[in-house]
Amino acid sequence: MMDNRKHLRRLSRREMLAAAGGGALAAALAVKLVGHQRVATNEDSPAGTSPDLALQKLMDGNKRFVEEKRTYPDQNRVRLAEVAQGQHPFAIVLGCADSRVPAEILFDQGIGDIFDIRVAGNITDDVVLGSIEYAAEHLGVPLIVVLGHEGCGAVKAALEGKPVPGHIGSLLAAINPALAKAKGQAGDPLDNAVKANVKLVVEQLKSSQPILTELLKEGRLKIVGARYDLDSGKVETIA
């Protein structure tokens, strides 16, 4: 059987848009082949979404979530058939593993919309960075959101500085540099540390070479930091 991806690349732009009905398969238009490397153009990013439009799409979804007007997009059998052929997420969300912060729900998105990376304290290391680079470079995802949240347990544990068992210490060690940045700030120490941790990870990603720095330089990627409020359900950008 002919490879579906090769078949899609033979279609014209107009034919593909018609076939996709303006839906997820239109993301294939974002791909240009240069030798054997896959490169996404800025104007033809996944789902036809630029970095700014991708962020707006997330924030609009969060507004629907807060107002209890969710539309539950991309969650039917048609969507399953679309994404079975390949994924074209429009955003990468590096969020906390906390069970109260599920990105697809709080942003009112569906299957295949978000490249979801969750780790306690929304920290980054080489493994997390590799996953992000894969989505940004190979899949052409135009937006990274580092999502911290109110009352983060990992940040709280780092702030308390008590001995912890097992490998938890390595997690807290990654958060400790943010605590120094938040020290002495007015307001709630934990929330200050949560925000400082988000901003630290954003800085780490923005300076990550060579893939992310190059995509940022070319305008094909945007990296923002955000905080999720457990009480209201609202997401606000903070970096």
Alpha carbon 120 to its chain centroid, in Å, reads: 15
Q: Quick check: helix, strand or coil at residue 214?
A: helix
pLDDT in tens, 58-71: 999 999 999 999 99
Please report where in the chains the tokens 């800025």 appear, as a residue.
Answer: 42
- Tell me whether residue 14 is in a domain: no
Q: What is the pLDDT of residues 156-200, one digit of tens each?
A: 999 999 999 999 999 999 999 999 999 999 999 999 999 999 999
> Is the pLDDT confidence value at 18 over 90?
no
pTM for this prediction: 0.82
Residue-number span of the structural domain to which 188 is assigned: 49-237
Sign of CA dihedral 195, 200, 203, 209: negative
Q: Is residue 159 part of a domain?
A: yes
CB 49 within 8 A of CB 114: no
- Assess if residue 22 is contained within a domain: no
- Reading the block at residue 163, the tokens are 């001995």
Tell me if 82 sits within 8 A of 24, measured CB to CB: yes
For the chain, how many structural domains are there in total? 1
186 lies in some domain: yes
Model confidence at 213, in pLDDT bands (50, 70, 90)?
A: very high
What's 18's DSSP letter?
A: H
List, for residues 116-146, the tens digit of each pLDDT value: 999 999 999 999 999 999 999 999 999 999 9
Residue 49: band (very low, low, confident or very high) from pLDDT cuts 50, 70, 90: confident
Residue 78 pLDDT > 50, yes or no? Answer: yes
CATH of the domain at 68: 3.40.1050.10
Instruction: Give the mean pLDDT of 213-229.
Output: 98
Task: Label the pairing between strands 31-34 and 37-40.
Answer: antiparallel
